[in-house]
Amino acid sequence: MNVGVAHSEVNPNTRVMNSRGMWLTYALGVGMLHIVLLSIPFFSVPVAWTLTNVIHNLGMYVFLHAVKGTPFETPDQGKARLLTHWEQLDYGVQFTSSRKFFTISPIILYFLASFYTKYDPTHFILNTTSLLTVLIPKLPQLHGVRLFGINKY
């Protein structure tokens, strides 16, 4: 028994994306980011969509694929210390509803950004590169893989 621990999960990072209202909060946050970018006077609509996509994907890459460990004290003897949040999500089980949601949401944002930028080559390259940087680490084949030793420890 853990004294002073308010949760019953061994690692709360595994279930946080399934908590009530998390997906709605995520979608509202992306929407608010886009509204803030649209309200900046010298940004055109295509620039605002591309910035929304790139900022979203950069944030998701950092929070899901770059940062390792947990902000909680866990009794798992340091097993979560070497895993990213994406690898901890749903105890590492692939193709759960939360993993599907966080895989599909950047794709939908990419389609929206591509449509509103009218497939301009510069915006298209930026949006595609940004999308690939968040989709490739989500592949099941890359679970626990550290390319070139980056983020190994």
* Residue 3 pLDDT: 54
Separation CA 144–CA 93 (nearest Å): 13
User: 89-122: per-residue pLDDT in tens?
Assistant: 888 888 999 999 999 999 999 999 999 999 999 9
Q: Supply φ then ψ for residue 84, to 5 degrees.
A: -75, 170
Q: What angle do CA 35, 99, 8 make, to 5 degrees?
A: 105
pTM: 0.87
Per-residue pLDDT of 48-101, as tens digits, reads 999 999 999 999 999 998 888 777 776 666 677 788 888 888 888 889 999 999
Instruction: Delimit the domains of the chain by residue range.
Output: 12-143
Residues near 37 by beta carbon (within 8 Å), at least 6 away in sequence: 43, 48, 51, 52, 55
**pLDDT score of 144 more than 80:** no
Rounded (5°) CA angle 131-136-139: 130
* pLDDT, tens only, 18-44: 788 899 999 999 999 999 999 999 999
The phi, psi pair for 145, rounded to 5°, reads -85, 135
Beta bridge partners of 68: 84
